Amino acid sequence: MKIICIGRNYLAHVKELDNDLPTKPMFFMKPETALLPVGEAFPYPNFSQKVHYETELVLHICKSGKAIEEKTASEYYDAITVGIDFTARDLQSECKAKGHPWEIAKAFDCSAPIGSFKKISALKHPEDIAFGMKLNGEWAQQGHSRDMIFSFDKIVSYVSRFVTLNEGDIIFTGTPQGVGEVHAGDKLELFLEGESVFWFGVK
């Protein structure tokens, strides 16, 4: 399986990092080793002094496809959860400045914890999905899918022009505003439509 991540998909987050407003989706990838095994703590990487959380809705791809049309894109994903796109912000800033790829800042081990998936058809408000993350018991980030710049269908269609999507692949769909640092000893809990879907510690 592969993990695809969309960047800059919420206006307020684009502004908080002083990035340009995108005219088409921007994506990067993480390897399968970026998943966090259930029951384990996120190991704070020794190569960064500034690891940020980015709380994101994560789509589960249920059918293989290439060059998927936007109007049929919803047939290709069936479930959703919340995940964290951990980012070594200090390394990412260096990469951006040099025009280098982002892998050292984004694709490292355990950088993509995800919750348990829920069927989209069973959600109360599939047209506007509420999600968020509590850091040590306090809301750190809350978002709504209606605030995305690019919809799920647009993302699936766009990504599949370049990369064949396979059943079991997952897509992180971008973070709303409010990204911030984590530290050893923190506890993160992920929520989908008000329901806890995962929690883990930082060690």
**Stretch of residues binding Mn ion (CB under 5 A), selected from 73-81, 153-161, 169-177, 192-200:** 169-177
Give the DSSP letter string of the chain.
--EEEEES-BHHHHHHTTPPPPSS-EEEEE-GGGSPPTTPPB---TT-S-EEE-EEEEEEE-S-BSS--GGGGGGGEEEEEEEE--EEHHHHHHHHHHT--SHHHHSSTT---B---EEGGGSS-TTS-EEEEEETTEEEEEEEGGGBSS-HHHHHHHHHHHS-B-TT-EEE----S--EE--TT-EEEEEETTEEEEEEEB-
Answer for which of 42, 54, 73, 81 binds Mn ion (CB under 5 A) is 54
Nearer Cβ to Mn ion, position 160 or 175?
175
Kindly tell me which residue out of 159, 175, 193, 200 binds Mn ion, with binding defined by CB under 5 A.
175
Determine the interface stretch with Mn ion among 47-55, 70-78, 136-144, 163-171 (rule: CB under 5 A). Answer: 47-55
Closest to Mn ion by CB, 111 vs 175, is: 175
Q: Which residue among 3, 85, 108, 178 contacts Mn ion (CB under 5 A)?
A: 85
- Contact status: 30 vs Mn ion (CB under 5 A): no
Stretch of residues binding Mn ion (CB under 5 A), selected from 23-31, 77-85, 129-137, 180-188: 77-85
Q: Which residue in the shown chain puts its C-beta closest to Mn ion?
A: 85
Minimum gap (Å) between residue 154 Cβ and Mn ion: 17
Residues that bind Mn ion (CB under 5 A): 54, 85, 175
